[in-house]
Structure 1
Amino acid sequence: MSVAPTPPKLTSQDVIDKFWETHIGKKASKIAKPPSVLPKNVLTQMVGNNMPQGIVTGRPVTESYDIAVKECEIKIRQIVAECRRTNTKYCDPHFDLDDMEYCLAALSGKQDPAPPPVPNQAVILEVTQKVVSSGQQIAWGNVQPDQAAQEASSSSGPACAKRVGAIFEDPKFHVKKDVHVKDLRQGAEGDCWFIASLGSLCVEERFSHLVERICPPQLRDEKVGVYGFVFHRDGEWVSEIIDDKLYLSAPDYDDCDDSRRAVWDSAHCRLDPEVSRKLYRKTFQTGSDALHFASCAHPQETWVPLLEKAFAKAHGDFEAIAGGWPGEGVEDLTGGITTEIVSADILDRDQLWTESFLNVNKEFLFGAGTRHYGSSSEDPVGGRQGIQDGHAYSVLRAVEYKGERLLMVKNPWGDTEWNGRWSDGSKEWTAEALKELDFTFGNEGIFWMPYESFLERFVEIWRARLFTEDWNVSQHWTTIQVPWSGDYNDTEFEFVITESTTTVIVLSQLDGRYFGGLTGQYDFDLAFRLHVAGESEYIVRGYSSGERSAVAEVDLEPGTYRVLLQIEAFRRPWRPKIEDVVKENWLDRRDKLIRIGLSYDLAHAKGKVEEAVMPKKIEKETEKKSEEKKPNAPPPPPVHEDDSDDEDEDGDDAPWNAPLVVSLRVFCHKTAATIKVIRNDAEEVTAETKPGLDVDDPEKDATKLVPAETVVPTAASAEAGKEVELTLQPKPQPV
């Protein structure tokens, strides 16, 4: 009886090759695209033919803003007319604060395991945004200590929502003509990054128009209770409309738990019950101090909490705006572009002071952030000198006074200040200095500190360039597949400028904050190289600045330029997949899923403008395969249920699939660029056309150690004369 031969044992190389084939596979010839969340018929009914456009060609930076304001103004007029006809205040049906689950909580999937812990000691010395004690990116979002304690004592967050007229005795959107940074106070929301960004806009009177641009007077009717705001999203200005309900920290008297009401009643038992109830409301539910989230310092002013509410609604809920980068907040509020500066990497501190900080509130706005310290405990000995960890601040002024470089800084909490040199009441202050610097001591969260101390305490600085009317912007969105290797992508951008100009080049991904819960399992880190078309040496590199963009600013001559994309993807298998979130919420949170799903689908539609265009090589191959298909070919084997794609496949074992919608924006001073997408067929990319390694990539030197190959003609081919057959042989090596 013959014995079946033993199958050959797999070698280590066989196992590795099989692993890569399963998880990475061959490079796909088809352009990848992210999934759509909503059913196609639902999306069509809601949007029709009004899908967003992914291409903007050379228009003034103010054009999109003007369109958004005009459209919002028309909506506001219609709402006001309707409310006056029906004698009712405006009630926002799309963001009703009484529905706390909708307004406070983002979409979520099934409970997933937490990310693996990272030892603290391995990261304590890191000072960049990329590494913190938890192994995650820093997101500046601290709340005030008293607010944090309040949150800990009440797991329900805000207690109730009331209209502005019920909270304030004499409410005013603006108490004074010009807003001031002292007006702002952060609340229980962890959005210090946003409040710090807002504070940067209202330092100088000549810049008060920056706040007015966000909430123009024609976009509100305080009596009707309707307010319109505009924010910058993904290269365009968008509007948002809200009613005047705000969250309070204290519940109504009748909704208090028995113990709390008993304490109040016991302390006020001699009062008439009706008087006692009114006193309770005046004590806990009246004025700015009663608000749960952000507020104005003035007890009757309302613009800060209403603006924060509109910002939360624009992103879907209050959870969506917890934690972030001050630089990105400034971009959202101004349409400017932020460059990230790591304090430890500054080459020339004098140059940074002269060219950047002395232009604060002129060409630039500044924010700064501290790192998360290795210990989460309080600072009992005061070694941190009042500077909070993992927190965002605004930079308000920069001056040179008697040979000393000083910065005025704002803590969005409205208190807790620096207590080192030049702090309030320190020995450095004289009557002359107070007069010269126009400063008054007070616990308002505003303080002065030396430039060198600032650079030591703040690990990251955000410099936001503001664009005036003589700047133009061009933009082009597309969709790419990000390879596991993080290599330069086969897709490139090309742009042309016809005049010498200062350019700001921005490579961006979509702002995932607008579709929380639907961001999927991949994070992306963006970078690029700028080349003159046809040249191998690059002009400048753009690095990631925050989560959304990579930025470079450079003066360019007329010509054609290529932007090579280097994008790394990181899979977080503990996060829910998009399809899991859809399945988890389609019944219980239908309205929320429709709202956030629509935001997701419309944003990703920008990257689908070229999906009908097929590369010529792929098109020919598709036609060829179709012709070669044999009619008598056996049918494919049946797919059993166990063999089908497992929707619940573990994230670590799932094949790599990282589609990304990206855009290139080019800002030009007094001229405009034209942009197009260049898709290189992966099979046609050769050593000559493939982007080389960066000059500082360690692998660039390693490749020099690999023996090169030389081209040697064979004897037979040499005799043939002109037609010489070339074969590859190893280059001789020295003995």
Structure 2
Amino acid sequence: MNLRNQKQCPIKPEPGTQASFAQQEKRAGLLVTNELEKALAGCKAQVERIAKDCKAKNRRFRDAEFDLENDRQRCLFGLSKENREYRPSDVQRVTKIFSNPSFFVDGANSNDIVQGKLGDCWFLSALATMTTAKGLLEKFCVARDEQVGIYGFLFFRDTAWVPVIIDDLLFTSIPKYEELTTPEKELYHRDKNFYNTSARKGGKSLYFARSGTEDETWLPLIEKAYAKLHGDYTAIDGGFSCEAIEDLTGGVSTFIPIKDILDPDVFWREELLLATKDRLFGCGFDTLDSNRSGIKNLTVNGLIGGHAYSVLRALEYKGKRFIVLRNPWGDSEWHGAWSDGAREWTEEWLPALKELEHSFGNDGQFVMEYSDFLDNWDLVEKTLLFDDTWVMSSQWLQVTARPPSAAWSYGDISFTITIPAPTQAVIVLSKLDERYFADISGNSCWMLEFVLFKKGSRAIVAESTPTRFYLRSVNLEAQLEAGEYVVHVRLDRVVNDQLPEYNPGNTDPRKFSRVQTERAKSQSIASNFKPSAVLHNLPIPLDVLAGQDLTELETKAVEAEKQIKATEVALQAEPSVRVPEWTTKEKEETQKGAITVAEGKTTKSGQRGAQPKSDDASSDDDSDYEDSDVGGGDDVEVDLDNLPTSIADEDLGLRSAAGSPVPASVQNERSQSSPSESDYRLESWATRPELGSGYSNDTVVLGLRVYTHKDAPALVGGQLRHEMKASLAALASSALQR
């Protein structure tokens, strides 16, 4: 089906407002954020530099950070040494596996995707879905030099583009000739050359995913890059396809239960018909319970539960509504009406196959009528794509929630949003992508909700609608006027005691150090992140060290530490003292000299705009002030924990005596350092030394991302609950009395 220019806005705007997601065909799928071009250029330059160096040394590229051959266990598995079920037989380069390897053969399409022994159907389904938006998949396959075996990819994680560089070594399932048993050797007439040129050649010898097109290599290589992004192959076993699409495009995903669709005609017209234009879809249903029937591997007319399928396209033909879908396994298709070779395909309807771009065959692709689609699937996953007419603003905070026994209530976290002009907005509340460090992220499974108010008004503008529990993010879409808005967050969770307790004595210390490092880097996105708490886990970027010896760097670090401590002491003694107005040059030189780098990018007010300045934060050893009350004043003993609060436009941000905002790092310190707040403090390194400072079942890093049109970039701020317990308790009490 040819893509057509999107003329109408799929989300109906209010009268007098602008259309929202209308995109030109050539722009559809371009990824939002100003950092994209910088990341693309950086990744290409890195690939070119390494390739040039390899050619000068007459060597193929070998990735020391993800070496499948020499570091097999770390690349395959997470921290636990239990349940290590993947056992590839060998590792070979692409040039040895394929006779005539080519990254793409006639471009990328859904028939290229065949799942291997890894449970990543969700990721492969996302790739199949993305192949339907022409040229989209190629955008994040940034650079490659197939001669030396180096490939560069870009993925979107949390709020930034992450380059991933890999070599062309891949796991295979076919052992070396010498490892065969005598009967196995007999099958190949004891001919080693015959065995190597037949059994050990071709995509079918790969252990994980392979392309359905022989000699095509993009699929196993991007799967490897995605595994490296998250630490190992095991880390990408299980997930939601729409979250993978988010990682690949920077889009925003929504889960839509079929039974919640109010008007199927509207859903068809304003959602599914727009597939591949500015949104992508997947679908599925939960695994079927076979206990009653006793039948194993139950299916619904060939459809498999607990499995991700791709929606490739939707089309109306002669009054009937058809949807083309695909199983990433490359087989096991729908057996109902309009399936391949079904009786519905009479001579009258066969011309529809051309319009649907479908042909019969056991290739995993099949056709369903819309009514059957609604009857057989439980859940639709939608991902909105953004072009470069959009911008993104964000703010992240490390939050210590109240104990699970406390009231289920708003009032712990708020965000403020400033919108300079009327715009369509997509507001997303999310936690960090914890897939890399899931083993040390605690046993709490979080559910997120939020409501949006106009500042000064008690009327709810919009609210998120959680449609599935314990997702990575929730969002809402709304047409916003210019002005200030307040978002209030409510957290819910279940503490899963069935999750295995991480045992530091049962893993590889090298692997553990890398997992800790990735967690520290991810948490550093928070405005109230404290580098000193995880100083030994933060790597030192080469651009900080470049051109300077350690003596020069240590001198700068000492000066930076003095200035930071002086600011902290001043703030402790007198909250109204403002942070010194550093110039950009002074800030960059001083903070980079401190060696330790926190990746959060924040202004002095704790707000983040659409184009934040990238400043490195220095080490702030605050151990001298850990148990002090920065703000002073009496501690009012009022138990707010079990009182529901009713708050609409109140801003929970800490204000100094002069009315100016105090930096978020001080807000967090104030909120967690008072002895009366000990229930909410993070567990210390001394409490759980094997897990590192900042670990707690009560701790989560939350971010608010706001997507708006380019001419209306938002400014986002964040606030945490602190010693305002008395005033909030009064608000709650007053609301209950009303």
Same fold (TM over 0.5): yes
1:212 to 2:223 alignment: no
* In 1: Cα distance, 2:499 partner to 2:286 partner: 25
Assess if the C-alpha contact under 8 Å between 1:174 and 1:303 holds in 2.
Answer: yes
Shift in Å at residue 605 of structure 1? 1.3
1:196 to 2:125 alignment: yes
1:170 to 2:100 alignment: yes
Q: Paired residue for 2:438?
A: 516
Partner residue of 1:669 out of 709, 712, 718: 709
Assess if the C-alpha contact under 8 Å between 2:285 and 2:377 holds in 1.
Answer: yes
* In 2: Cα distance, 1:573 partner to 1:351 partner: 43
1:224 to 2:148 alignment: yes
Distance 1:430 1:379, change over 3 A: farther
Assess if the C-alpha contact under 8 Å between 2:31 and 2:386 holds in 1.
Answer: no
Question: Match for 1:662: what amino acid?
Answer: L
* In 1: Cα distance, 2:245 partner to 2:419 partner: 28
1:602 to 2:643 alignment: no
What is the CA deviation profile of residues 622-653 of structure 1, one whole-angstrom value per residue up to 9, with x for unaligned ones? 7999xxxxxxxxxxxxxxxxxx999689x9xx
Shift in Å at residue 70 of structure 1? 1.5
Q: Paired residue for 1:442?
A: 361
Q: Paired residue for 1:310?
A: 225
Distance 1:647 1:348, change over 3 A: same
Assess if the C-alpha contact under 8 Å between 1:387 and 1:417 holds in 2.
Answer: yes
Partner residue of 2:184 out of 261, 264, 278: 264
What is the CA deviation profile of residues 191-215 of structure 1, one whole-angstrom value per residue up to 9, with x for unaligned ones? 0000000111112xxx332111110
1:498 to 2:540 alignment: no
Q: Paired residue for 2:670?
A: none
* In 2: Cα distance, 1:533 partner to 1:378 partner: 58
Assess if the C-alpha contact under 8 Å between 2:442 and 2:697 holds in 1.
Answer: no
Deviant stretches of 4+, over 4 Å: 376-383, 610-618, 622-625, 644-649, 687-693
* In 2: Cα distance, 1:593 partner to 1:381 partner: 37
1:87 to 2:30 alignment: no
Assess if the C-alpha contact under 8 Å between 2:315 and 2:321 holds in 1.
Answer: yes
Assess if the C-alpha contact under 8 Å between 1:476 and 1:664 holds in 2.
Answer: yes
Shift in Å at residue 691 of structure 1? 11
Question: Match for 1:403: what amino acid?
Answer: G
1:584 to 2:505 alignment: yes
1:372 to 2:287 alignment: yes
Shift in Å at residue 94 of structure 1? 1.1
Partner residue of 2:397 out of 474, 478, 483: 478
1:428 to 2:344 alignment: yes
* In 2: Cα distance, 1:656 partner to 1:603 partner: 16
Distance 1:657 1:316, change over 3 A: closer
1:404 to 2:404 alignment: no
Question: Match for 2:127: what amino acid?
Answer: L
Q: Paired residue for 1:452?
A: 371
* In 2: Cα distance, 1:659 partner to 1:166 partner: 48
Shift in Å at residue 382 of structure 1? 7.8
Assess if the C-alpha contact under 8 Å between 1:491 and 1:680 holds in 2.
Answer: yes
Number of residue pairs the alignment of both structures matches: 554
* In 2: Cα distance, 1:595 partner to 1:381 partner: 38
1:78 to 2:49 alignment: yes
1:392 to 2:308 alignment: yes
Q: Paired residue for 2:491?
A: 567
1:467 to 2:386 alignment: yes
5+ residue gaps in structure 1? 1-58, 113-150, 626-643, 694-702, 710-735
Assess if the C-alpha contact under 8 Å between 2:414 and 2:488 holds in 1.
Answer: yes
What is the CA deviation profile of residues 596-642 of structure 1, one whole-angstrom value per residue up to 9, with x for unaligned ones? 211100111112446678896953327999xxxxxxxxxxxxxxxxx
Q: Give the RMSD, CA atoms, in angstroms.
A: 3.1
Counterpart of 1:368 in 2: which secondary structure? Answer: strand
Counterpart of 1:686 in 2: which secondary structure? Answer: helix
Distance 1:395 1:688, change over 3 A: farther
Partner residue of 1:357 out of 265, 268, 272: 272
Distance 1:557 1:268, change over 3 A: closer
Q: Paired residue for 1:295?
A: 210
* In 2: Cα distance, 1:265 partner to 1:610 partner: 60
Question: Match for 2:36: what amino acid?
Answer: Y
Shift in Å at residue 686 of structure 1? 3.1
Assess if the C-alpha contact under 8 Å between 1:228 and 1:241 holds in 2.
Answer: yes
Shift in Å at residue 64 of structure 1? 2.0
Question: Match for 2:418: what amino acid?
Answer: V
* In 1: Cα distance, 2:438 partner to 2:720 partner: 30
Assess if the C-alpha contact under 8 Å between 1:396 and 1:409 holds in 2.
Answer: yes
5+ residue gaps in structure 2? 1-29, 531-567, 577-628, 637-683
Counterpart of 2:37 in 1: which secondary structure? Answer: helix
Q: TM-score, normalised by structure 2?
A: 0.70
Identity of aligned residues (%): 35
Assess if the C-alpha contact under 8 Å between 2:706 and 2:714 holds in 1.
Answer: yes
Partner residue of 1:621 out of 609, 632, 636: 632
* In 2: Cα distance, 1:82 partner to 1:96 partner: 18
1:105 to 2:77 alignment: yes
Shift in Å at residue 268 of structure 1? 4.1
Assess if the C-alpha contact under 8 Å between 2:523 and 2:529 holds in 1.
Answer: no
Assess if the C-alpha contact under 8 Å between 2:442 and 2:696 holds in 1.
Answer: no
Distance 1:407 1:246, change over 3 A: same
Shift in Å at residue 92 of structure 1? 0.9
Q: Paired residue for 1:187?
A: 116
Counterpart of 2:435 in 1: which secondary structure? Answer: helix
* In 1: Cα distance, 2:508 partner to 2:77 partner: 11
* In 2: Cα distance, 1:692 partner to 1:296 partner: 64
Distance 1:422 1:472, change over 3 A: same
Counterpart of 2:235 in 1: which secondary structure? Answer: helix
Counterpart of 2:360 in 1: which secondary structure? Answer: coil
Counterpart of 1:660 in 2: which secondary structure? Answer: strand
Distance 1:249 1:622, change over 3 A: farther
Q: Paired residue for 1:686?
A: 728
Question: Match for 1:93: what amino acid?
Answer: A
Distance 1:359 1:378, change over 3 A: farther
Partner residue of 1:525 out of 431, 447, 459: 447
Shift in Å at residue 572 of structure 1? 2.3
Shift in Å at residue 338 of structure 1? 0.7
* In 1: Cα distance, 2:635 partner to 2:368 partner: 71
Shift in Å at residue 563 of structure 1? 0.6
Question: Match for 1:184: what amino acid?
Answer: I
Question: Match for 1:619: what amino acid?
Answer: V
* In 2: Cα distance, 1:380 partner to 1:511 partner: 34
Shift in Å at residue 501 of structure 1? 0.9
What is the CA deviation profile of residues 168-203 of structure 1, one whole-angstrom value per residue up to 9, with x for unaligned ones? 011000111x21111111111100000000111112
Q: Report which structure shows greater RCO (CA 8 Å, sep ≥6).
A: 1
* In 2: Cα distance, 1:104 partner to 1:381 partner: 27
* In 1: Cα distance, 2:197 partner to 2:42 partner: 39
* In 1: Cα distance, 2:128 partner to 2:257 partner: 21
Distance 1:158 1:429, change over 3 A: same
Q: Paired residue for 2:21?
A: none
Distance 1:528 1:623, change over 3 A: closer
